[in-house]
Structure 1
Amino acid sequence: MNYSINDVAVRFKLSVHTIRFYDKKGLLPFVLRNQKGNRVFTESDLNMIQTICCLKDTGMPIRDIKKYIDLCMKGTETIALRNELLNKHKKEILKQIDMLKDNLSLLNLKIEAYESSNAVEIITERLKKAAEEKRISNLK
């Protein structure tokens, strides 16, 4: 089955403009055009677009996504390089997840403090302590 650019946009919650941008950046070299010059997407193309969206959504830069797509287009001899690229990206994602977990813990502590019955006292005490530390550091 073939899909139009509008079909793809709806399926992946992308704008037609974004799909054209991806094409212009070389991320869609596998997409063929019909006699009228319109892009015609296949199931296989949709699988690649899903991968592109995943990589983009997880923060991979366009240039690295293009590198990945270019490696895919070269065939099976690039599997090791593709695996290396994806593993490197996975490590970056895991670092981001750890950082987000740390930040979420801090937010949860703040929320817990604000929702406690003595929130005003806790915040006032912390502000006094911070002001005292600042005053002492200014004296040095």
Structure 2
Amino acid sequence: MATEALIERILAAGDGPSASAIDALHELLDDATIEASAAPKSVAEAARLVGLSAYTLRYYEQEGLVRPARNASGYREYSAFDLRRLVFLTRMRLSGMTMTDLKRYILLVEQGPSTIPERRRIMLDQRDRILRQIRELGLALETTEYKIRVYDGHPEG
């Protein structure tokens, strides 16, 4: 299933983290979606699959967040591992994680299991930021809904 279709499934699951949304998210990050045995993807194919521009993929590579292999002709080839990492990076950037935090996190991942406590701390901090964003967006939605009611002539309801 394409990345965008899975994201739509997650978003369509409703307001909370339902079992369906969680399953879809796990599918998005799992080998079932991005087959481990699949042939490597070109920059254009990888960009299309994960919904990023080729420029962004190259930027992530320059920043050390992903390291695609090169084929005999010198072209980048994105493996299933690279694609899953790109999906993760995309979700974290969408949630507001800074490039500094992402670079630190990926550096820790590459250092191995001994860094799990620090990686967990980064994810806990990110969760706190996301939860704050959700609360702030909830307030923005309430303000928007109020204005719509005012324009409909029903400011109380």
TM-score bracket for this pair, using the shorter chain length: 0.7 to 0.9
Q: Which position in structure 2 is the counterpart of 1:80?
A: 117
User: Which one has the largest radius of gyration?
Assistant: 1
User: C-alpha offsets along residues 59-107 of structure 1, whole Å, 9 cap, x if unaligned?
Assistant: 1111111111111111111111111101101100100110110111111
Q: Which of 69, 90, 109 pairs up with 2:106?
A: 69
Separation in 2 of the partners of 1:37 and 1:81? 36
Paired residue total: 118
- 1:3 alignment partner, SS class: coil
Query: Runs of 5+ in structure 2 lacking a partner?
Result: 1-37
User: CA shift at 1:35, angstroms?
Assistant: 2.2
Separation in 2 of the partners of 1:80 and 1:48? 20
Moved more, 11-20 or 36-45: 36-45
Q: Percent identity?
A: 30
Separation in 2 of the partners of 1:101 and 1:24? 36
More helix by share: 1
4+ long deviations beyond 2 Å = none
User: CA shift at 1:39, angstroms?
Assistant: 1.5
1:108 correspondence with 2:108: no
- Whether the 8 Å CA contact 2:50–2:83 is kept in 1: the answer is no
- Whether the 8 Å CA contact 2:43–2:77 is kept in 1: the answer is yes
Separation in 1 of the partners of 2:80 and 2:141? 39
Q: Which position in structure 2 is the counterpart of 1:58?
A: 95
1:46 correspondence with 2:77: no
